Amino acid sequence: MNVLVTGGAGFIGSHLVDALVGRGDSVRVLDNFFSGARENVNPGTMLVEASVTDEDAVRASVEGTEVVFHQAAHRAVLRSVEDPIATDTANVRGTITVLKAALDAGVRRVVYASSSSVYGGAETLPTAETAPTQPRSPYAVSKLAGEHYCRVFAELYGIETVSLRYFNVYGPRQRHDSAYAAVIPLFIDALRNGRAPEVHGDGKQSRDFSYVSDVAAANLAAAGAPAEAISGHVYNVAGGTSNSLLELLDLLGRILDVEPRPVHTDPRAGDVRHTCAETRDASRDLGFECEVGFEEGLRRTVDWFASD
């Protein structure tokens, strides 16, 4: 199958590309290396260095492909709080640019990377896809807007679309050296180097963490599931259990054989208190369930940091 992965040099996108190449697909990668890394690009792909807001580059990249996996985005909540216009440009304009190019090129399906942040602070846990959405950051607003564009394109134009709401993805290749780095690589880097991990707030906030290979597998499942069951729909991608940041630190401390001594700072703007996903719809419609347990995923991630 001929496919395009936008953001294919990024953390999640590169793992997805590896899975696609591994099963024999012909893969194009579109990435401007805003947050992706050249060393992440699988050598078995065709690389187009451009932004998803570049209409000409996107049109050329989607030509002749059957499925587009749209992973490219400005991802960080804090970055979106600091620069909401840049986030909107990349995430909303970028998504509609990809959708329109895919429609015009006769692409069969677009699989869109959304986020659990669209729920805001959900009152019901575990949270199903039918729960009200109440975004609390410009990033979350932009991802929800992308979902609506996917649904509208499916309803108005007939192109197949599927949106996947990722819950706190972690694993190898996730950067710790960014101002907007995620909590797991930050904690691992601090503990490995004898520093006190920084915890925003009391550390009792909890997250439903998803190992990156499971997220890649969810994308493959979404690309192949029957259109009549899934087109225009959204699905949670998560393990279905939650761990607090203090529990995460305790697990990492045991894996690394160190005693975590966190420093607590102010809570971050735009963050939610708890996330936990209801995953029955993905199991029913996509035939997908996460396979990597949280402790096993952390061990794999720690091993990668040790070998990097």
CA distances to 40, 199, 247, 248, 298 from 175, rounded to whole Å, are 12, 18, 21, 18, 15
Q: What is the pLDDT of residues 194-206, one digit of tens each?
A: 999 999 999 999 9
pLDDT of residue 159: 98
pLDDT of residue 285: 98
Mean pLDDT, residues 223-250 taken together = 96
Nearest in space to 72 (alpha carbons), one of 101, 88, 95: 95
Q: Judge contact between 191 and 258, C-beta under 8 A.
A: yes
Would the pLDDT of 214 be above 80?
Answer: yes
- % residues pLDDT > 70 (the chain): 100
Would the pLDDT of 20 be above 90?
Answer: yes
Where residue 178 falls among pLDDT bands split at 50, 70, 90?
Answer: confident
Lowest mean pLDDT among 22-36, 174-188, 233-247: 174-188
Q: Is the pTM of this model over 0.85?
A: yes
Whether omega for the bond prior to residue 185 falls within 30 degrees of 0, making it cis, is: no
Out of 112, 119, 139, 211, the active site residue is: 139
- Dist CA 213 CA 190 (whole Å): 24
- Dist CA 112 CA 7 (whole Å): 11
Q: What is the pLDDT of residues 42-75, one digit of tens each?
A: 999 999 999 999 999 999 999 999 999 999 999 9
| Catalytic (active site) residue 139 | yes
**Reduced 3-state DSSP string for the chain:** CEEEEECCCCHHHHHHHHHHHHCCCEEEEEECCCCCCHHHCCCCCEEEECCCCCHHHHHHHHCCCCEEEECCCCCCHHHHHHCHHHHHHHHHHHHHHHHHHHHHHCCCEEEEEEEHHHHCCCCCCCECCCCCCCCCCHHHHHHHHHHHHHHHHHHHHCCEEEEEEECCEECCCCCCCCCCCCHHHHHHHHHHCCCCCEEECCCCCEECCEEHHHHHHHHHHHHHCCHHHHCCEEEEECCCCCEEHHHHHHHHHHHHCCCCCCEEECCCCCCCCECCECCHHHHHHHCCCCCCCHHHHHHHHHHHHHHC
pLDDT of residue 177: 87
Would the pLDDT of 289 be above 80?
Answer: yes
Contacts of 280 (CB under 8 A, 6+ apart): 128
Number of Cβ within 10 Å of residue 157's Cβ equals 13
Would the pLDDT of 183 be above 90?
Answer: yes
Mean pLDDT, residues 255-267 taken together = 96
Domains of the chain: 2-169+210-239 (3.40.50.720)
Mean pLDDT, residues 284-288 taken together = 98
CA distances to 113, 115, 175, 298 from 141, rounded to whole Å, are 14, 10, 24, 30
Would the pLDDT of 270 be above 80?
Answer: no
Q: What angle in degrees, to the nearest 10, is found between the helix axes of 245-256 and 294-307?
A: 50
Where residue 275 falls among pLDDT bands split at 50, 70, 90?
Answer: very high
pLDDT of residue 189: 97
Q: What is the pLDDT of residues 115-130, one digit of tens each?
A: 999 999 888 999 999 9
Residue located via tokens 């729909």: 233
The average confidence (pLDDT) of the chain is: 96
